[in-house]
Amino acid sequence: MRHWTGRRRRGREREDRGARGEKKRAPHTLRNVAAKRAYIGLGANLGDRRAALDAALAALGARPDIEVVAISRVRETDPWGPVEQPRFLNAAAAVATTLSPRELLDALLAVERELGRTREGPRWGPRTIDLDLLLYGDAQIDEPGLTVPHPRLAERLFVLEPLLDLDPSLVVPGAGNVESLLARLQ
């Protein structure tokens, strides 16, 4: 698992962009079952934010059906949305998984609960940990309780920048590549 969060490694991370060749690798298998590539968004703005991100990644990676393949830089970001609240730490992770999109979302919600997330308070308000299913392969899903790509992904710098860290040529199905979505916001 690569980890590019350390300040020390940032310069090298930039140089590595474009040369990582993640896509050229053989498809992942978990327990010999072909795995899908998905992207998870992580955010925290209450308590020990960094510990919450690390604990969430550890809990996901501990499952036999999820492999955390790469983690973006961790950024401190201004709160997005109408609620006045503390700054967030945000990151994204690329995972290989044998779970379906629905099962993967359930796994994310289970980890949120495990880490003490409650759903009190306003929508878009502060939270100890928030895990969003951003992308699942090239799937476009719009079902009760499950929308993929994440519906507000293209409006959020704090999501697009970490995705670009993970794969500079990443495409959001139905919306275009991450680089051009980011350019629209800047």
Angle between helix axes 101-114 and 49-61 (nearest 10 degrees) is 130
Q: Is 130 in the site for ligand A4P (CB under 6 A)?
A: yes
Q: Is 129 in the site for ligand A4P (CB under 6 A)?
A: no
Question: Is 48 a known active-site residue?
Answer: no
Residue ranges of E strands in the chain: 2-3, 29-30, 33-34, 36-44, 66-71, 75-77, 88-97, 130-136, 141-143, 146-148, 171-172, 176-177
User: Considering CB under 6 A, how many residues would be counted as binding ligand A4P?
Assistant: 22
To ligand A4P, the closest distance from the beta carbon of 127 in angstroms equals 7
Q: Single out the catalytic residue among 37, 49, 73, 117.
A: 117
Task: Examine residue 144 and say whether the peptide bond preceding it is cis (omega within 30 degrees of 0).
Answer: no
Give the one residue of 2, 13, 47, 79 binding ligand A4P; rule: CB under 6 A: 79
The three-point CA angle 182-149-127 to 5° equals 85
Binding window for ligand A4P (CB under 6 A); candidates: 50-58, 66-74, 129-137, 165-173: 129-137
Burial class (CB in 10 A: 0-12, 13-18, 19+), 34: exposed
Q: Single out the catalytic residue among 132, 156, 165, 167.
A: 132
Answer positive or negative: Cα dihedral of 50, 53, 59, 61. negative
150: three-class secondary structure by DSSP: coil
Question: Is 117 a known active-site residue?
Answer: yes
Binding window for ligand A4P (CB under 6 A); candidates: 27-35, 63-71, 150-158, 178-186: 150-158
Say if residues 142 and 99 touch (Cβ distance below 8 Å): no
Sites for Mg ion among residues 125-144 (CB under 5 A): 130, 132
Sites for ligand A4P among residues 2-41 (CB under 6 A): none
- Closest by CA to 38, choosing from 136, 134, 156, is 136
To ligand A4P, the closest distance from the beta carbon of 60 in angstroms equals 14
* Residues forming the active site: 117, 127, 130, 132
Residues forming the site for ligand A4P (CB under 6 A)? 43, 77-81, 88, 90, 105, 109, 123-124, 130, 132-133, 145-148, 150, 152, 158
Residues forming the site for Mg ion (CB under 5 A)? 130, 132
